[in-house]
Chains A and B, each alone.
Chain A
Amino acid sequence: MSQPSVISRRVATAAAVSLALVAGLAACAGPKSSDDADGGSGGSGTSGKPQKGGTLTVLNSNPQEDFDPARLYTSGGGNVPSLVFRTLTTRNRENGAAGAEVVPDLATDLGTPSKNATVWTYTLKDGLKYEDGTAITSADIKYGIERSFAAELSGGAPYLRDWLIGGADYQGPYKDKKGLASIEVPDDKTIVFHLNKPEGEFPFLATQTQTTPVPKAKDTGTKYEEHPVSSGPYKVVTNENDGERLVLERNEHWSAETDEERKAYPDKIDVRSGLDSAVINQRLSASQGVDAAAVTTDTNLGPAELAKVSGDKKLAARVGTGHFGYTNYIAFNPKVKPFDNPKVRQAISYAVDRSSVINAAGGSSLAEPATTYLPNQKSFGYTPYDHFPAGGTGNASKAKELLKEAGYPKGLKVTLTHSNDKDFETSPEIATALQAALKKAGITVELKGLESNDYSDTIHSASKEPGFFLAHWGADWPSGGPFLAPIFDGRQIVKDGANFNTGFLNDASVNKEIDEINKLTDLDAAATRWGALDKKIGEQALTVPLFHPVYKRLFGQDVKNVVISDWTGVLDISQAAVK
């Protein structure tokens, strides 16, 4: 009889001790934040002048797998990768819309186009060095790009293969020693690209890590990812379990004079991945010990976590808000009945209840209603339109009217395909919200949830594509091009393999306009034309735009100089300081 009570007493003591510890830590943390309050405005981590030193911890769920510039698929060079890999051009590290601009990095400018934007010439800055002190040459950039064509180093975006002359057949430098003839290096400072068609947005593509210089002598093939040679402010010291733990320390040969974008305040960056998203948010909100100087580059606050944070003013001050060019929408396959009838597609466009969809996605703080396919940002050429106004909660009577005209006076029964991922994007809760809204318009919706891989295979297969499904699209760079061309260019319909033109649109006038815009090197003019094209395509009701996500992410209480651009929507760790 005595044994159980002893155990329970021991447990009780342990609990009391740990409670006391937590209280003690909280007490220690107290004065620190009040110091901040004295020095700056309010107790938030963003106040105070950023200074060099300290260790910034990154708490992530996804590991930095394949940390090789040839294999990374990034938008604008990535967040952690951009600390190690410099590129020809890069994203402007500023808050908001200014951050969606492309700026020079290794190159002196955004490139000089010639021959109708089919030839792009770049000149490198002076004084560029690797982590071992040797000079960076344009031949190394050419070699870095060529590596990305090797089958064993695949993973990057498809643009270089599609755009460079001879790119489609090139096998990479290990099999083809002669290299790719469409990239010329007349001297150590100059590199020239020859494209097979006009591409005014080449400067955007040049931000991706494939334009990172790789010294041929140091290339170890697939093992290069374990210790890539740094051209940026930090070098890789430790890389455990394929990027699960990544420790970066200062690269002494990097010079701030050649790099206007990266601030590099902390002395050390410690990236710890493979964490559960709930754990990351819990640790960031507690902000104890090393977590006080921690950020995350991949974990958003979920709806329930946001509800908790909004009730706590101190915590709410440590939330960074950002916008990434992204649209969640309903897609139709007009080859499947009854979606071949434009009136049916229009009826559904009228019937959607965007307010309940947004609530299902996490509420008005985590999602903004979308009536355009292009994201609601200037850099994309956002041109407001609402061809089938559903209002906030749907226009059921207009939808019924259209269904009647389409020959369905008694309503309609359809199947909505979605994924079973809990991502608040194409997930069951969004589908259920739509199901409830369409019911009001007499449309009975049956839900068909597919597992992640099955979902992605099905919606991107020209033969298996369902008639009515949830989809999403994000930008490779903040412009209308990579948003509209893959989805609406008729020449990009793929019969076998991954097809993204889910509406099977093959309209000669649309195709021609895409070609015309690609010739423009004035990116603002191009943006306006992309916006007009989006408005025109929207009339066909091949998609029903639903919402654009808003990113809300916590950061630790010691983190300063929080910069969130509209390019990534995420706190830029090259700007963050912990002292």
Chain B
Amino acid sequence: MSEALLVQEAGAAPVAAPASGARQFWLRLRAQRAAAVAAAVVLLLLLAALAAPLLAALAGQDPDTYHPDLVDSAAGGVPIGSFGGISADHWFGVEPQTGRDLFARVVYGARVSLGVAVAATVLQVAIGLVVGLAAALGNRWIDQVLSRITDINVALPLMVIALALLAIVPPSFPRPVLIALVIGGINWAGTSKIVRAQALALKSLDFVSAARLAGRGRWSIARRELLPSLAAPVITYAALLFPVNITVEAALSFLGVGIKPPTPSWGQMLTEADTWYQSAPTYLLIPAGLLFVTVLSLTVLGEGVRTALDPRAASRLRIGTGREERGERTKERAS
């Protein structure tokens, strides 16, 4: 999904009334079956990632131990047995050449892949909020400067900059942290644009004017009046950014600048597996399948969150066109 599209969709939500309570949100989210299933899958994956050492111990394996006896050395190191050596001991089979347990590597890999994506998303939201709010609330000069910086940020080619940055930073710096910083630091412009647009619209509403007339400071207004109303579009946008961040980490590791061995990540596993697609297909299919399921679930969940937060916008996007609604409004005003 292109970034421009994300901005457009999330930003298309009209200035909503302050969120009508967490309970209502949950009810609306649960009502959508696809989103509920997606949420369950995401929750399961997050739990698996958190409990990686526990799960690996349960399987009696760890991600780094070599098992030379489980691969056919004379045949290039292909796993012995069908389906990549899947057995009672090795639930997902073993890695070609090394014989390392794939189940353990996949759950440990989930930690890196999901962890990096969570951290990067948090960073994108935090930077976006600060920059967007400052632009909306500051004077014209500050707004001009920050908006131009945001435009430049939009224009930066994420992959190219990330490749360059990751190549020059010394290898002693922890890679997962670095990748989260790079993705978060380069790709925050979308959040910032949404926040600025929403905050500018909210600024002119009565409750904000009232607060201003009461003599409250700018940051107090931002915190107490604007932030709660910004929650819906920002959470929606974040939910859509998250799967994008997972794929960016996978792509960087696939290109060889991401996570360094022996730390497993799904993207890094895909890199190692790409030559094996014919002789040991399960090696490629397992991380690829997990990546697919994760990104799909998160995207469905993101859509669900948006619908739950703003059912009016969602139903308009799904069924009708803007013209119909505007027509209705005109009718209302006329009557």
Q: Which A residues have a C-beta under 8 Å from some C-beta of B?
A: 278, 301-308, 310-311, 353, 355-356, 358-360, 362-366, 393, 420, 428-429, 431-433, 435-437, 439, 447-449, 451
User: Contact at A305–B76, with CB atoms within 8 Å?
Assistant: yes
User: Contact at B66–A436, with CB atoms within 8 Å?
Assistant: yes
Known: A305-B275, A393-B68, A448-B171. A433 touches B77 (CB 8 A): no
A-B contact pairs, 6 of them (CB 8 A): A307-B276, A307-B279, A307-B280, A355-B73, A362-B97, A449-B260
Q: Which B residues have a C-beta under 8 Å from some C-beta of A?
A: 64-66, 68, 71-78, 96-99, 167, 171, 256, 260-262, 275-276, 278-280
Q: Identify 5 new A-B residue pairs, CB closer than 8 A, beyond the known A355-B73, A363-B75.
A: A278-B275, A306-B75, A308-B279, A363-B71, A431-B261
Bound-complex Cα distance A302 to B275 (A): 9
Closest B residue, CB atoms, query A436: B66
CB contact between B75 and one of A356, A365, A431, A449 (< 8 Å): that residue: A365
User: Contact at B76–A366, with CB atoms within 8 Å?
Assistant: yes
Q: Provide the residues of chain A in CB contact with B71, threshold 8 Å.
A: 359, 363
User: Contact at A360–B98, with CB atoms within 8 Å?
Assistant: yes
User: Contact at A447–B260, with CB atoms within 8 Å?
Assistant: yes
User: Contact at A365–B74, with CB atoms within 8 Å?
Assistant: yes
User: Contact at A436–B73, with CB atoms within 8 Å?
Assistant: no
Q: Provide the residues of chain B in CB contact with A310, threshold 8 Å.
A: 74-76, 78
B94 to chain A, nearest CB (A): 11
User: Contact at B97–A363, with CB atoms within 8 Å?
Assistant: yes
Q: Provide the residues of chain B in CB contact with A365, threshold 8 Å.
A: 73-76
B78 to chain A, nearest CB (A): 4
Bound-complex Cα distance A308 to B75 (A): 8
Q: Provide the residues of chain A in CB contact with B256, threshold 8 Å.
A: 420
User: Contact at B73–A364, with CB atoms within 8 Å?
Assistant: yes
Bound-complex Cα distance A310 to B97 (A): 15
Closest B residue, CB atoms, query A367: B73
Bound-complex Cα distance A311 to B78 (A): 11
Bound-complex Cα distance A311 to B261 (A): 30
User: Contact at A304–B276, with CB atoms within 8 Å?
Assistant: yes
Closest B residue, CB atoms, query A435: B262
CB contact between B261 and one of A278, A308, A428 (< 8 Å): that residue: A428
Most buried by A among B68, B167, B260, B278: B68
B251 to chain A, nearest CB (A): 17
Q: Provide the residues of chain B in CB contact with A308, threshold 8 Å.
A: 278-279
User: Contact at A359–B261, with CB atoms within 8 Å?
Assistant: no
Known: A304-B278, A449-B260. A359 touches B74 (CB 8 A): no
A272 to chain B, nearest CB (A): 22
Known: A303-B97, A436-B66. A428 touches B75 (CB 8 A): no
User: Contact at B262–A358, with CB atoms within 8 Å?
Assistant: no
Q: Provide the residues of chain A in CB contact with B66, threshold 8 Å.
A: 353, 356, 359, 433, 436-437
A399 to chain B, nearest CB (A): 17
CB contact between A356 and one of B78, B98, B278, B280 (< 8 Å): that residue: B98
Interface pairs A-B: 7 shortest CB-CB: A306-B76, A307-B279, A303-B76, A307-B78, A307-B76, A304-B275, A363-B73
User: Contact at B68–A303, with CB atoms within 8 Å?
Assistant: no
Bound-complex Cα distance A360 to B73 (A): 9
Question: Main SS of the interface on chain B?
Answer: loop
B321 to chain A, nearest CB (A): 19
Bound-complex Cα distance A435 to B97 (A): 15
Q: Provide the residues of chain B in CB contact with A451, threshold 8 Å.
A: 167
Q: Provide the residues of chain A in CB contact with B167, threshold 8 Å.
A: 451
Most buried by A among B97, B256, B276: B97
Q: Provide the residues of chain B in CB contact with A355, threshold 8 Å.
A: 68, 73
Bound-complex Cα distance A433 to B75 (A): 18
User: Contact at B75–A307, with CB atoms within 8 Å?
Assistant: yes
Bound-complex Cα distance A360 to B66 (A): 10
Bound-complex Cα distance A117 to B75 (A): 48
A417 to chain B, nearest CB (A): 10
Bound-complex Cα distance A281 to B163 (A): 30
A414 to chain B, nearest CB (A): 14
Q: Provide the residues of chain B in CB contact with A364, threshold 8 Å.
A: 73-74
Known: A359-B97, A429-B97. A303 touches B77 (CB 8 A): yes
Bound-complex Cα distance A428 to B65 (A): 16
Bound-complex Cα distance A172 to B73 (A): 51
User: Contact at A358–B76, with CB atoms within 8 Å?
Assistant: no
Bound-complex Cα distance A449 to B96 (A): 22
Closest B residue, CB atoms, query A427: B261
Q: Provide the residues of chain A in CB contact with B262, threshold 8 Å.
A: 432, 435-436, 447
Q: Provide the residues of chain A in CB contact with B279, threshold 8 Å.
A: 304-305, 307-308, 311
Bound-complex Cα distance A393 to B279 (A): 26
Q: Provide the residues of chain A in CB contact with B74, threshold 8 Å.
A: 310, 363-365
Bound-complex Cα distance A429 to B64 (A): 12
Known: A302-B275, A356-B68, A359-B68. A432 touches B261 (CB 8 A): yes
CB contact between B171 and one of A362, A393, A429, A449 (< 8 Å): that residue: A449
B312 to chain A, nearest CB (A): 30
CB contact between A429 and one of B65, B68, B76, B261 (< 8 Å): that residue: B261
Bound-complex Cα distance A366 to B73 (A): 9
Q: Provide the residues of chain A in CB contact with B276, threshold 8 Å.
A: 304, 307
Closest B residue, CB atoms, query A277: B275
Bound-complex Cα distance A307 to B260 (A): 26
Bound-complex Cα distance A302 to B76 (A): 8
Q: Provide the residues of chain A in CB contact with B72, threshold 8 Å.
A: 307, 363
B100 to chain A, nearest CB (A): 9
Q: Provide the residues of chain B in CB contact with A448, threshold 8 Å.
A: 171
Q: Provide the residues of chain B in CB contact with A278, threshold 8 Å.
A: 275
Bound-complex Cα distance A353 to B66 (A): 10
User: Contact at A362–B77, with CB atoms within 8 Å?
Assistant: yes
Q: Provide the residues of chain B in CB contact with A428, threshold 8 Å.
A: 260-261
Q: Provide the residues of chain B in CB contact with A363, threshold 8 Å.
A: 71-77, 97
Bound-complex Cα distance A433 to B73 (A): 14
User: Contact at B73–A358, with CB atoms within 8 Å?
Assistant: yes
Bound-complex Cα distance A218 to B287 (A): 60
Q: Provide the residues of chain A in CB contact with B280, threshold 8 Å.
A: 304, 307
User: Contact at B73–A307, with CB atoms within 8 Å?
Assistant: no
CB contact between B77 and one of A307, A353, A431 (< 8 Å): that residue: A307
Closest A residue, CB atoms, query B75: A310
B69 to chain A, nearest CB (A): 9
Bound-complex Cα distance A358 to B97 (A): 9
A332 to chain B, nearest CB (A): 20
User: Contact at A360–B97, with CB atoms within 8 Å?
Assistant: yes
A132 to chain B, nearest CB (A): 48
Closest A residue, CB atoms, query B79: A307
Bound-complex Cα distance A364 to B72 (A): 9
Q: Provide the residues of chain B in CB contact with A301, threshold 8 Å.
A: 76
Bound-complex Cα distance A437 to B66 (A): 9
Q: Provide the residues of chain B in CB contact with A302, threshold 8 Å.
A: 76, 275
Q: Provide the residues of chain B in CB contact with A431, threshold 8 Å.
A: 261
Closest A residue, CB atoms, query B276: A304
Bound-complex Cα distance A301 to B280 (A): 16
Bound-complex Cα distance A431 to B75 (A): 21
A314 to chain B, nearest CB (A): 16
Bound-complex Cα distance A447 to B172 (A): 9
User: Contact at A311–B68, with CB atoms within 8 Å?
Assistant: no
A253 to chain B, nearest CB (A): 46
Bound-complex Cα distance A356 to B69 (A): 10
Bound-complex Cα distance A136 to B57 (A): 75
Closest B residue, CB atoms, query A355: B68
Q: Provide the residues of chain B in CB contact with A358, threshold 8 Å.
A: 73
Most buried by B among A304, A310, A365, A429: A304
Q: Provide the residues of chain A in CB contact with B275, threshold 8 Å.
A: 278, 302-305
Bound-complex Cα distance A393 to B69 (A): 11
B62 to chain A, nearest CB (A): 11
Q: Provide the residues of chain B in CB contact with A436, threshold 8 Å.
A: 64-66, 262
CB contact between B98 and one of A305, A306, A359, A439 (< 8 Å): that residue: A359
B280 to chain A, nearest CB (A): 7
A458 to chain B, nearest CB (A): 12
Q: Provide the residues of chain A in CB contact with B260, threshold 8 Å.
A: 428, 447, 449
Q: Provide the residues of chain B in CB contact with A432, threshold 8 Å.
A: 98, 261-262
